[in-house]
Amino acid sequence: MDRLPPELLLMIGEHIQRSSDSQITLHSLSLCCRHFHDVFESMLYHSLSLCSFSVKYAHLIVRLWRDPEIASQVRRLKMSCEPVSDYQESVDQLKGDPEVASFIQNALDEIFTPEEVFDR
């Protein structure tokens, strides 16, 4: 498998992107071996759809924030927020996650000037 030319793998990846479960398949392929990871990871982040509030999306946003190289691979991002029945439970999970809590604090510090911090 490591000997397959990248061009052929790209064609396979493009075919996979047209399927409904492309993210799952591309993620699985990117975990197979280093060669596949190098080819399929950019396709994995090419088009993202975040349609509801969840902890896994918070971790994805943290990863994109901290890794500009991965973030630069995103070409289309669809975000929508629907009412979530277990919103408070999700918020509690996020507060308990030190990585997410640190990300939120850093993001707020970067977005707001010191004078605006007091208005939060």
In whole angstroms, how large is the CA radius of gyration of the chain?
Answer: 18
Structure tokens at 10: 């790209």
The whole-number pLDDT of residue 87 equals 56
Q: Do 63 and 26 fall into the same domain? A: no
Question: What DSSP line would sit under 14-32, residue for residue?
Answer: HHHHTSTTHHHHHHHHHTT
Same domain, 6 and 61: no
Examine residue 5 and state whether it is found in any structural domain, yes or no. yes
CB atoms closer than 10 angstroms to residue 80? 8
Helices 34-46 and 22-30: crossing angle in degrees, nearest 10, is 150
Q: Which two tokens stand for residue 5?
A: 């030319």
| More confident: 8 or 102 | 8
pLDDT digits (tens, 9 = 90+) for 29-70: 999 988 888 888 888 888 887 776 666 777 788 888 888 888
Asked whether residue 67 is assigned to any structural domain, the reply reads yes
Instruction: Give me the domain span that covers residue 8.
Output: 1-50
Domain assignment present for residue 78? The answer is no
